[in-house]
Structure 1
Amino acid sequence: MSTQKPLKVVVTTRLFTPEVGAAAFRLKALVDGLVEQGADVTVITTTPPTGSGLFKPGYKLSRWPVMRDSGGNVRGYVQYLSFDIPAFFRLLLTPADVVVSEPPPTTGVIVALSSILRRRPFVYYAADVWTEALSAMDVPSVVKKTMGFVEGFVMRRAAKVIAVSQPVAEQVAKFKVPAHRIHVVGNGVDTTVFGPDGENAAVPKPYFVYTGTMSEWQGAGIFIEALAKVLPTHPEAEVRFFGQGTDEAALKELSVAVAPGSVHFGGVVPPAEAASWIRGATGALVSIKPDQGYDFAKPTKIYAAAGCGTPVIFAGKGDGAAVVADNGLGVAANYTVDAVAQAMCALLAEPDKGRSARIDWVVANASLQASGKVAAAQVLGVAEVKTSQ
């Protein structure tokens, strides 16, 4: 009696564990879900930066050197292509029943083209919509139009687009992707890391923490400007940034100008260390510049903070503000210096008491492990259709 062979799934991503970042966490959760459901998984990814640590899973990791910027990131079109071009040929040589592509859309294109040549389906994992993100940046209109064309081509060619939220799914639909090919799988954090149990950072002064990417469309400088207004009444208060991004240099200059000595930049740290800083913070800071085409985003740093029990100060509006306000995860403040400073002063004067409720909400609604299993089921559904034909 013959046994059915496991479905072969190839996941293509420039970022994967042990690198730190929302994309790496999300893809690992997907792969864990695929393996748990019996798939034979290969991850086509990059060689991690020196010092990233060891990661030796039970599935196949196909790594290849890649160009990185001065901060060690695979960010920028030259860097993307240094991964995408070799990945195209690696995909042609790798058997699969289905391929998964993570943004950027340039990677989606090489997955789409290689899938056409190999006559196999692919799934696009839409964590966000890059064309919308570009609208918040100072880039030439021709770049935005080109990205829109590329992103639309990739998503319309995909057998399925899995979106991390309903707002992202609605953005995907604008590219004329049929509704039956879009599936919302949710998003979240690893609650075994970003949870209440663990060490707190040993810092004597009260501080607010910002973790993750620092990009122009997030506008995290508002927290530094707000801190300058907080310091006269709370002179020991600090803001601590962990992560990296295109806006980091500007944030450092701003901190020297308006709050010298009270803002600290710790660079990229492992998830467990980031969680310890979050647990010890008076509040966690999250921002999105309003009316820049990105108000639909729900940054995972919201869930990371709430999972640790720490209240969130969200500066902005839209879906991110709503998830904070509607679920008792902290304060949704208008994107103004005065409103953010007021929220910071309120937490410094009287620490928020909703810790347990926040933790419980994240476990029930924003577990990355749960969303990874849902995403895996969608991917395997595409593979099963292909193998039955």
Structure 2
Amino acid sequence: MKDILIITNYFPPETGAASNRIFHLAEGLQKHNFKVSVITPLPNYPTGKIFEGYKGKFKYSSTKNDITVHRLWIYASNSKNKLLRLIAMLSYSFSLYWFFTWNKIPKTVIIQSPPLLVAFTSVFFLRSKKRKLILNVSDLWPIAGLELGAFKKNFSYKLLEKIEHFNYKHADLILGQSNEIISHVKSLFPKKDTFLYRNFPDFIPPKISKTVTRTGKLKIVYAGLLGIAQGIYKLCQELDYTYIQFHIYGTGVEQDKIQSLISNNPELDIIYHGEVSRDKLHEALMSYDLTIIPLLNRIHGSVPSKIFEYARLGLPMIYFGGGEGEKIIKQYNLGWIAKVGDYNNLNATISRIKPSDLELKNGERIIKTAIEYFDFNKQLDLLVEKI
């Protein structure tokens, strides 16, 4: 049995795509006869507050299903203040350094990036000819931050670029969740060993109802983080509610603004459901006609994991984010495309969706596509061969 360590910023009981992705990776490796351990902060995402049961602790270790999880201290914050966010990352980096100093580290380590500083700390202190470092790159920072308007091309940005390049240089293998990420890495380090590792889900979906009827308004759902990048608040303002009803699940920094918008504008046909568990969410999603996957701006390297999760559920999608995700929707015929940032085009696209487009057979076709092309276990088998 080979020891492997995963270093990540997100892990259950935290919710969201990043947490689910790393959990399934850990669970999958354990089933492939790896002895898996995980290092992660004390759970705090997305609230920015340490969860009940973990407060007041510097370290909390537990073992479940033969996976050992070490939760380390972090100065938790989800503030928009860049200094506070930096302090949060530095605090976790300090905890990592402390852990590396006093504990034996396996010869194979998977490091999640971003955050860049956390990945840098791990790569810097663990790089060794005797140890294999695998960098799992899910977003291209700092490029994504620049496209989101979080950064400007100044000294700080140049420093983050140097950190990014250092991480790539000293990783033995780089996993990229998109072809754009792989291409970017190869443009910097042409000989670097890379592997396309999509965020495929690993769950048994609920069955599609055989008595689905489509009456009244089109029921569109968004489920996920209510963050700046997703732009759900602006989406709520721009949608044409003549023929649709918009349902929202999730939490994040825009939650209060969205709830206030709904309260002050009862004519907008929006229903906010709050945050629910993943299993309950999957059951709830089956009652909607289709889902929307938006990004406020096109983000280089980004492919929302919702694409693969909703495909597994057989849920048609409206993709409103551009980039590689748009290409996947088109290639596998998973739904409709609206030009990113163009809300008139989005409303026009929605208006053209017919009841016949949402029949049961379409959902069943999407599920078959997901089973054939978005298989978590097949992908993991290929990854294990490289590890």
Q: Note if 1:76 corresponds to 2:85.
A: yes
Hey, what's the Cα distance between the residues in 2 that align with 1:356 and 1:178? 41
| Equivalent pair of 1:9/1:98 in contact (CA under 8 Å) | yes
Question: Alpha carbons of 1:94 and 1:248: their partners in 2 closer, same or farther (altered >3 Å)?
Answer: farther
Counterparts in 2 of 1:1-389, with a 5 A limit? 6-49=1-44, 50=51, 56-69=64-77, 76-92=85-101, 93-103=103-113, 104-116=115-127, 120-138=131-149, 139-142=151-154, 143-174=156-187, 176-193=188-205, 196=208, 207-221=219-233, 223-227=235-239, 229-231=240-242, 234=243, 237-252=244-259, 262-290=269-297, 292=298, 294-335=299-340, 336-347=342-353, 351-353=357-359, 354-378=362-386, 380=387
In structure 1, the residue corresponding to 2:148 is in which secondary structure?
coil
Offset of 1:58 from its aligned partner? 1.3
5+ residue gaps in structure 1? 1-5, 381-389
Mean Cα deviation higher: 278-287 or 260-269: 260-269
Q: Is the 8 A contact 1:34 1:373 kept in 2?
A: no
The residue type paired with residue 375 of structure 1 is L
After superposing on structure 2, the runs of 4+ consecutive aligned residues of structure 1 that deviate more than 6 Å are 51-55
Contact residue 133 and residue 173 of structure 2 kept, 8 A: yes
Distance 1:19 1:195 in 2: 26
Relative distance call for 1:243 and 1:177 in structure 2 (3 A) is farther
After superposing the two structures, state which structure 1 stretch, 153-162 or 317-326, moved more: 317-326
- Distance across 1 between alignment mates of 2:223 and 2:307: 10
Shift in alpha-carbon separation, 1:70–1:11, aligned structure 2, 3 A: closer
Q: What residue in structure 2 maps to residue 384 of structure 1?
A: none
Distance 1:186 1:52 in 2: 33
Structure 2 equivalent of residue 386 of structure 1 = none
Distance in 1, Cα, partners of 2:3 & 2:147: 38
1:109-136 Cα deviation digits (max 9, x unpaired): 1111221379523110011212221112
Letter in 1 for 2:11: F
Task: Calculate the TM-score normalised by the size of structure 2.
Answer: 0.81
Counterparts of 2:119 and 2:63 in 1: how far apart (Å)? Answer: 25
Q: TM-score if structure 1 supplies the norm length? A: 0.81
1:194–1:339: structure 2 CA closer, same or farther, 3 Å change rule? farther
Please tell me the residue identity of whatever aligns with 2:247.
R
Deviation of 1:333 after TM superposition, in Å, equals 1.2
Contact (CA 8 Å) 2:139, 2:301: kept in 1 or not? no
Alpha-carbon distance, 1:159 to partner: 0.9
How much has 1:250 moved relative to structure 2? 4.9
Distance (Å, rounded) in 2 between the aligned partners of 1:295 and 1:16: 25
C-alpha contact (below 8 Å) 2:338/2:346 kept by paired residues: yes
Tell me if structure 2 keeps the 8 A contact 1:101–1:124: yes
Question: Distance between the aligned counterparts of 1:124 and 1:374, measured in 2?
Answer: 16
| Distance in 2 separating the partners of 1:216 and 1:163 | 23
Work out the percentage of aligned pairs sharing the same amino acid: 17
Q: Comparing 87-96 with 329-338, which one deviates more in the overlay?
A: 87-96
Query: Residues 241 and 76 of structure 1: is their aligned pair in 2 closer, same or farther, counting only changes over 3 Å?
Result: farther
- Matches of 2:130 and 2:281, distance apart in 1: 43
Check 1:263–1:144 CA distance in 2 against 1; reply closer, same or farther (3 A cut).
farther
Give the drift of 1:158.
0.5
Measured on the aligned residues, the alpha-carbon RMSD in Å equals 3.2
Per-residue deviation at 1:60?
A: 1.2
Distance 1:149 1:266 in 2: 42
Using the alignment, how far apart are the partners of 1:135 and 1:29 within structure 2?
30
Instruction: Verify the 8 A CA contact 2:250 2:274 in the aligned structure 1.
Output: yes
In structure 1, what is the Cα distance between the partners aligned to 2:185 and 2:281? Answer: 32
Change in Cα spacing, 1:24 to 1:119, as seen in structure 2 (3 Å) is same
Assess if the C-alpha contact under 8 Å between 1:194 and 1:307 holds in 2: no
- Closer/same/farther in 2, CA of residues 314 and 288 from structure 1, 3 Å limit: same
Contact 1:84 1:107 in 2 (8 A): yes
d(CA) in 1 for partners of 2:35, 2:356? 52
Q: Distance in 2 between matches of 1:248 and 1:55?
A: 34
State the Cα deviation string for residues 19-76 of structure 1 (Å, max 9, x = none): 21212222122222322222222111123353799982212111223333369xxx93
- 1:219 is displaced (CA, Å) by 3.1
Matched letter for residue 163 of structure 2: V
Q: Structure 1's 302 and 14: CA in aligned 2 closer, same or farther, altered over 3 A?
A: same
Task: State the distance in 1 between where 2:52 and 2:208 align.
Answer: 27
2:329–2:336 contact (8 Å) kept in structure 1? yes
Q: 1:248 to 1:155 in 2, by over 3 A?
A: farther
**Per-residue deviation at 1:222?**
5.1
Of residues 295-304 and 320-329 in structure 1, the stretch that sits farther from structure 2 once superposed is 295-304
Query: Could you tell me which residue of structure 1 aligns to residue 59 of structure 2?
Result: none
Which piece of structure 1 moves more, 118-127 or 95-104? 118-127
Code of the aligned partner of 1:94: K
Return the alpha-carbon distance in structure 2 between the equivalents of residues 276 and 193 of structure 1. 8
Q: Which runs of 5+ in 2 are unaligned?
A: 45-50, 55-61
For residues 143 and 262 of structure 2, what CA distance do their matches in structure 1 show? 29
What is the number of equivalent residue pairs in this alignment? 359
